[in-house]
Structure 1
Amino acid sequence: MGNSKSNTSKFISELPKNMFSGFVVSLIALPLGLGLALASEAPPISGVIASIVGGIVVSIFGGSNVTITGPGNGLVVVLLGAITILADGNMYQGYIFTLAAIICSGVLMIIIGQLRLGTLSDFFPSSAIQGMLAAIGISIFAKQFHVMLANTSIKGDTLSMLADIPTSISVLFTPEYSDIVIAAVVGVSSLFIMVFYGKIRNKYFQLVPAPMWIVLIAIGLSYYYEFFSTEAYPISASLLVQIPNEVFSSFPRPDFSLLLDMKFIGVVVSITLISTIESLLSIKAVDKLDPLKRRSNVNKDLTALGIASIVSGFVGGLNVVTVIARSSVNVNNGGSNRSSNFFHSVFLILFVVLFQDQLRRIPLTALAAILVYTGYKLAAPKNLKDVAKIGKEQLLIFSATVIATITTNLITGILVGILTTILIHFVLNKSIMFFVRNLFKPNVLMFKEEINDNYFVSIKNFSSFMNYTKLKKKLDTIPENEDAVVDFSLCDFVDYTVQESLIGYQETFKRKGGSFEITGLDIHGASSEHPLAVRSLIPFSKKLKVGPKSNLTKRQFDLQQIADDFSWNYDPKKDENVLALSDFVFFKIKKVSYLNNAIFDQRDVFRISDVVFSEGEFIARSLVRTTVLTIKLNKEIPKFTLDKEGLLEFVYKFAGFKDVTIQGHPDFSKRFYLLGEDTENIRSFFTDEIVLFFESNPYYHIECNGQSLLLMRKERLASIKEIKALLDYGTRLEKIISGTQYDEIVLKTPKIKT
């Protein structure tokens, strides 16, 4: 009861800042809503209606916290195609057919949400999705560039409109078209405002978003000609926003007569698919921005978006999706809960009711400029460059998706992207059967380790967008304030989509106070120098001549940072000189293959390395990777093995090995198993100070061969957090055992937060 009152009080106290944030968002949503509707060949007010309905419905029924809803960029191409083809060129009839399709799409989104199919977005390769968004951007740019130059006569597909751009530019210099020059100047000027807005570092100027500056200046120009100029307003009525006199008095009726037509069904599927993908991607991105680090209920949000799309369709609005740009503005202006989405709708209603005359003064060229900039951002050359850095195969996936989407449609484009990704995976692994054989096998093992209560997740065979949901379901059960280690040592192939998704988990766990670390990727070949490049045990990286340190994994970069913090050295390369480990009992009957990822000080007293070794032979042979710390001592001490008392140690006892007890420390003898031949010297060596150190610190498996110590904890690769703890433990233990001979090294060691 008290908690409920506290939440209510907090909600009320935060209303002012959410109201302000909603107002700022509405300043962007108004011109964008008008522009996106115009780009779709729908009535301009339909985009604003979608924003109003979305804000009200989703703020009540949604499962997210700081997202803003309304018409989205991704649907422009689909809606434009639907309005154009469903009625064979009759734009108004196509519009009311499209309203029916939007309503049907809303029903499908409700079903998707209720069936908890929000994970559908995980089945799409990242590069294919980026290619789809780039293709949408190119299509928006191609159409709206002509409108920005006041040329509304050019029609056709994306490629033909791109080819006609020089024509629209040349028209401006033709005398018979001088009447459109002012409108084109308004459009080009608006584009300049969008481009250079961010470079003006004035806090008062920045209070008004760039799209609203464009609207205000355009409306101001209209009033200038009306009250201060002797000349008539030079922009024709056909190039101004058209809004009905009574916006909310009569709504168009959706036409369901094509309900069973295949073209209509295709439109419904396209709207549903793109709406779902765009919304899920936006929700994920906005969750990362949320200052309170909350995670949205995506299935509940999809249901709410479906309800909103149905309502919007019945009142003449476009479909409703979650939009990343407006959501980002909401967070940046202090939005903290769903009420900011509601207030953004309220302000839009006020704008439409109170400023209808002003809205009719906005030139279409100004709104088109906003969309030209939006399209460019989606398809900017920088995006292509970033994809190419990840790998040549990602560039191929991206390009195939873009070309297929532009030349056909969005559904075909994303399917081509998926098929291209699968084909490339087959080629990289030189085997189709590898994927077919392992696709439906459980490839994820997760358990909570007794020591330190870490969650350990091991992935076998392959990990790609095709089976990522298996891994995601396991990861989603781990509390984000705990420590998790995800190990790919037993995985032959890891694709870019999986690695990109795991970066999101790392960021979330870090914000919530936990840690999420990825190990086992450094043994794989990489397709490029990028940290998230496709990783495979087939060493295709050699063909690309990738340098030894140019394609380090994130874990290796972190290891390099640890070495730098210590002023020590780091070497990621394989080292097959493993003789030093053969003197330790643990490795006596094990075949050590190599060491890598070594961190060591200038005198090589301390050396921490990943070790790859095998146990057993033939069919019983298994490959194991672990992390060990070796410490060279400045004096000879007795040989011993120290470990936590447990089942294995009881087996040692039955096999004839005797546990060395330390007089005066019964608790130590109960908790630890101490093994060694020279019993008296071992007892003399284990002074009160050393015993107290072991009793008051975490457990490690410790061995001494007389001249060196070996420390390790688990037969798996250690996480960065565990490596820091191991180094801290080892440096303190060495100081106790060896006196102060290496104080200069220890003193240079920074304090490690474990």
Structure 2
Amino acid sequence: MKYIRTLLPSWSDYRSVRRTWRGDLVAGITVGIVALPLALAFGVSSGAGAGAGLVTAIVAGVIAAVFGGSNIQVSGPTGAMVVVLGPIVVSHGVGAVAVVALMAGVVVLIAGALKLGRVVSYIPWPVIEGFTLGIAVIIFLQQVPAALGAKAGPSSNAFVSAFESLQTVNPATLGYSLAAVAIVAAIMVIAPRIHRQLPGSLIAIVIVSVIAGVAALPLVRIGVLPSSLPVPGLPSIDPTQLGGLVGPALTVAALAAIESLLSARVAASISDTGPYDADRELVGQGLASIASGFFGGMPATGAIARTAVNVRSGGKTRLAAILHALVLLAVVSLATGVVSQIPLAALSGVLMVTATRMVSISTMRSVLTSTRSDAVVFIITALITVSFDLIIAVGIGIAVAAFFALRMLAQSGGVHREELPPPSLPGDERIALFRLDGALFFGAADRMLERVNAITNVTVVIIRMSQLQVLDATGARVIAEMVHALESRGITVLIKGIQPQHLKLATQVGVISSLRHQNHLFNDIDSAVAHARDHVNRAAASQVDHPVR
């Protein structure tokens, strides 16, 4: 029960509202203005419709703000989610989006309840950046048809679909569509340079919409929008389709968890509102997607761009994110007639600029010039994201990064033959002292085994393990096999300096029992060398008393 209470809202979430409400009010209104064109654009781009984007931003925005684990996270429809939802709409229809939102929300909710929130911290930086680059490219490509005033191609691949759309371009309207995109892009670039708080995307959409309306330009508009929130209820879908939606729902759930936790982590690093609770954030995002699905919306995630606007605008508590959703609700209630006349080309311009801003040239340069392995991981993740699937890209990126990490770890380990401590005594040439360094695990164990087993003309082998930092079961088993092999050749093995954290493993896999005698385990090198010299002397004496004939 104590753990469950940590996942639920409490009055402590709003303890500082008395001091911060003015900043939260300004931030909430600002984020709401910024979120309006994005919610519309993401809804249209996903295929679910502008209304679904608005519903998601409102419903999921409130639920995630109240139940989530971040004080300043703003949630709603995002570009990454649009990339996944597009193929789902093509394959299963618009009605499947709300069902997927419900199914994915349940998965994310369970993940939070099972304390899986910290898993995202294991995703390497090059994978995250490659993933982000791939998403940005896909979002940009998805806007090409609308920017050209054409129909999207039938392919689910963004690049192929954009190329196919070129065949449906209408030369009579092409110039108007491109002009709308150019005006939006120019205003979004110029507005922040005039004042960082200016909502460039909203200003751009208003200007383009006014020009298109006054001049009666032949541009495709958003169309009819709901004037109120839909009545909540279970989405209707053929039960036979549910099995085919399990895979897409798991993909959406994984993406929602990854993107939300990454956004919350970044938000915590750029604000002074305290840390975030990763498990509670998953619970909040799961509930947000479930609620969005009941209202006919899309799956939701934390949105880093809107969250950053919230921080820059003075947001300190969850009140700001709640107010942002209320601003959008006011738009739905009071201004859907006006909003319905926004040209789709203007929204495509907003998303093209947004996608471009997702890519940081300096960050790309840092990754590509860091190490060769990191650059490979970054490029592979980005290419697979664009070519195949987002979650597959993350999985392969992590696998490639793990391969390079294991290879580096294996290379850090080694076995080195050392000289015995002075003074040198007769018979010391019959003693081999080996030091194990770094990591001894499945990736490096065989190399050590070959090195030690290759020695000849010795009577005693001393293995120093005090410098060994990493030891797994495979490495320990290899040591046991090595000791057994040496002992079977008549070579006495002494082990010096097993660290306390390795002793239990070494005992369980047979390292200790493989020694000829329990007294062959030492804590200091001098005692081990003295014992080895005694063995050599007794072996020499035995040869004198019993010469070989």
Pair in the same fold by TM > 0.5: yes
Superposed CA deviations along residues 176-230 of structure 1, whole A, max 9, x for unmatched, are: 62234223211121122223333x2x34xx44311111122123224533xxxxx
Distance 2:526 2:398 in 1: 39
The one of 205, 209, 220 aligned to 1:215: 205
Q: Say if 1:96 and 1:252, in contact at 8 Å, map to a contact too.
A: no
Write out per-residue CA displacement over residues 591-626 of structure 1, whole angstroms, 9 at most, x where no aligned residue. xxxxxxxxxxxxxxxxxxxxxxxx9537979xxxxx
Alignment of 1:248-259 (within 5 A): 248-249=229-230, 254-258=235-239
**Greater Cα offset, 277-286 or 318-327:** 318-327
CA spacing shift, 1:178–1:306, aligned 2, 3 Å: same
Q: How far 1:26 sits from its partner (Å)? A: 0.5
Match of 2:175 among 162, 170, 181: 181
- The residue that corresponds to 1:336 in the other structure is 316
Of 198, 201, 218, which residue of structure 2 is paired with 1:235?
Answer: 218
The answer (yes or no) to whether the contact 2:42–2:77 under 8 Å persists in 1 is yes
**Which deviations, in whole Å up to 9, do the C-alpha atoms of 1:104-153 show, x marking residues without a partner?**
11111111111111011123222122212211111111121332232234
Could you tell me whether the CA contact under 8 Å between 1:148 and 1:188 is conserved in 2? no
1:160 aligns to 2:188 (yes or no): no
| CA distance in structure 1 between the aligned counterparts of 2:59 and 2:272, rounded to whole angstroms | 26
Letter in 1 for 2:376: L
Aligned pair partner of 1:419 in 399, 424, 429: 399
Q: Indicate whether 1:191 and 2:185 are aligned.
A: yes
Check conservation: 2:153, 2:162, Cα contact below 8 A.
no
Give the alignment's Cα RMSD to 1 decimal: 3.3
- Do residues 354 (structure 1) and 334 (structure 2) align? yes
CA shift digits 1:267-314 (9 cap, x unpaired) = 01100000000000000000112224x011121121111111111011
Which residue of the other structure, out of 228, 247, 266, is the alignment partner of 2:247? 266
SS in structure 2 at match of 1:361: coil
2:129 matches 1:130: yes
> 1:377 offset after TM fit, Å?
2.9
Correspondence for 1:118: 117
What's 2:265 paired with?
284
Identify the residue that residue 686 of structure 1 maps to in structure 2.
none
Cα–Cα, structure 1 residues 428 and 221, in superposed 2: closer, same or farther, change >3 Å? Answer: same
Distance 2:374 2:410 in 1: 17
Secondary structure (helix, strand or coil) at the match of 1:263 reads helix
Q: Select the residue among 299, 305, 313 that pairs with 2:279.
A: 299
- 2:264/2:302 contact within 8 Å kept: yes
The superposition leaves residues 45-99 of structure 1 with CA deviations (integer Å, 9 ceiling, x where unpaired) of 111111111222123222211111111221111111111112xxxxxxx121121
Query: Which among 53, 61, 65 is matched to residue 55 of structure 1?
Result: 61
Structure 1 unmatched ranges of 5 or more: 87-93, 226-232, 436-459, 464-488, 494-614, 622-754
Higher RCO (CA-CA < 8 Å; seq separation 6+)? 2
Q: Does 1:45 align with 2:28?
A: no
Instruction: Compute the displacement of 1:161 (Å).
Output: 4.3
In structure 2, the CA distance between the partners of 1:425 and 1:290, relative to structure 1 (3 Å rule), is closer
TM-score by length of 1: 0.52
Deviation digits for residues 296-347 of structure 1, max 9, x if unmatched? 1121121111111111011111112111111111111111100001100111
User: In structure 2, how many angstroms separate the alpha carbons of the residues matched to 1:267 and 1:360?
Assistant: 30
Structure 1 letter corresponding to 2:280: K
Read off the aligned partner of 1:215 and give its amino acid letter. Answer: I
Matched residue of 1:318: which SS? Answer: coil
Quote the Cα distance in structure 1 between the aligned partners of 2:315 and 2:80.
Answer: 24
Distance 1:63 1:7, change over 3 A: closer
Distance in 1 (CA, whole Å) between partners of 2:248 and 2:526 is 58
Residue equivalent to 1:144: 143
Match of 2:75, SS state, is strand
Q: Quick check: 1:149–1:188 contact (8 Å CA) kept in 2?
A: no
Counterpart Cα distance in 1 of 2:249 and 2:60? 19
> Is residue 218–residue 361 contact of structure 1 (8 Å, CA) maintained in 2?
no
Residues 304 and 490 of structure 1, relative CA distance in 2, 3 Å threshold: same
Residue in structure 1 matched with residue 386 of structure 2 by the alignment: 406
CA shift in 2, pair 1:11/1:356, >3 Å: same
Q: Which amino acid aligns with 1:220?
A: V
* Mapping of residues 305-316 of structure 1, within 5 Å: 305-316=285-296
**Residue type of the alignment partner of 2:102:** I
Query: Are residues 194 and 312 of structure 1, via their aligned partners in 2, closer, same or farther at CA, if it must alter by over 3 Å?
Result: same
d(CA) in 2 for partners of 1:53, 1:10? 24
Letter in 1 for 2:321: N
> What does the per-residue CA deviation read over 1:620-668, in whole Å, with 9 as the maximum and x for residues that have no partner?
79xxxxxxxxxxxxxxxxxxxxxxxxxxxxxxxxxxxxxxxxxxxxxxx
Give the structure with the higher percent helix. 2
Cα distance in 2 between the residues matched to 1:396 and 1:379: 18
- Alpha-carbon distance in 2 for matches of 1:59, 1:314: 18
Pairwise CA distance, 1:42:
1.1
Query: For residues 252 and 110 of structure 1, do their structure 2 counterparts lie closer, same or farther at Cα, with a shift above 3 Å needed?
Result: closer
Deviations 1:561-611 (A, max 9, x none): xxxxxxxxxxxxxxxxxxxxxxxxxxxxxxxxxxxxxxxxxxxxxxxxxxx
Separation in 1, partners of 2:122, 2:15: 41
Query: C-alpha deviations, 1:541-576, integer Å up to 9, x for none?
Result: xxxxxxxxxxxxxxxxxxxxxxxxxxxxxxxxxxxx
Map of 1:224 onto structure 2: 214
CA distance in 1, matches of 2:65, 2:299: 16
Alignment of structure 1 residues 670-749 onto 2, 5 Å: none
Quickly say closer, same or farther: Cα 1:217–1:112, change in 2 above 3 A: same
SS at match of 2:94: helix
> Which residue number in structure 2 is paired with residue 385 of structure 1?
365
Q: Distance in 2 between matches of 1:263 and 1:8?
A: 42
SS of 1:390's partner is: coil
- Taking the aligned partners of 2:136 and 2:130, their CA distance within structure 1 comes to 10
Are the aligned partners of 2:13 and 2:317 in contact in 1 as well (CA < 8 Å)? no
Measured at CA, do residues 381 and 160 of structure 1 come closer, stay the same or move farther in structure 2, by a change above 3 Å? Answer: farther
Residue type at the aligned position of 2:203 = W
Identity of aligned residues (%): 23
| 1:145–1:369 contact (8 Å) kept in structure 2 | no
| Greater strand proportion | 1
- Which residue does the alignment assign to 2:36? 30
Contact 1:62 1:301 in 2 (8 A): yes
In structure 2, what residue type is equivalent to 1:158? Answer: A
Aligned letter for 2:105?
A: G
SS of equivalent residue, structure 1 residue 296: coil
Partner letter of residue 139 of structure 2? I
Alignment of 1:474-485 (within 5 A): none
The TM-score, its normalising length taken from structure 2, stands at 0.70
Q: Does 1:72 align with 2:66?
A: no
Q: Which runs of 5+ in 2 are unaligned?
A: 1-9, 415-437, 442-466, 472-522, 530-549
1:352-374 Cα shifts (integer Å, max 9, x gaps):
11111110111111111111122
Is the CA contact 1:96–1:253 (under 8 Å) kept in the aligned structure 2?
no
Distance 1:619 1:308 in 2: 66
**Given residue 110 of structure 1, which amino acid in structure 2 is its aligned partner?**
L
Total equivalences in the alignment: 421
Q: Is the 8 A contact 1:29 1:48 kept in 2?
A: no
Change (3 A) 1:95 1:344: same
Q: 1:5 to 1:431 in 2, by over 3 A?
A: closer
**Which whole-Å CA distance do the structure 2 matches of 1:146 and 1:289 have between them?**
36
What does residue 11 of structure 1 align with?
17
What amino acid is the match of 1:54? A
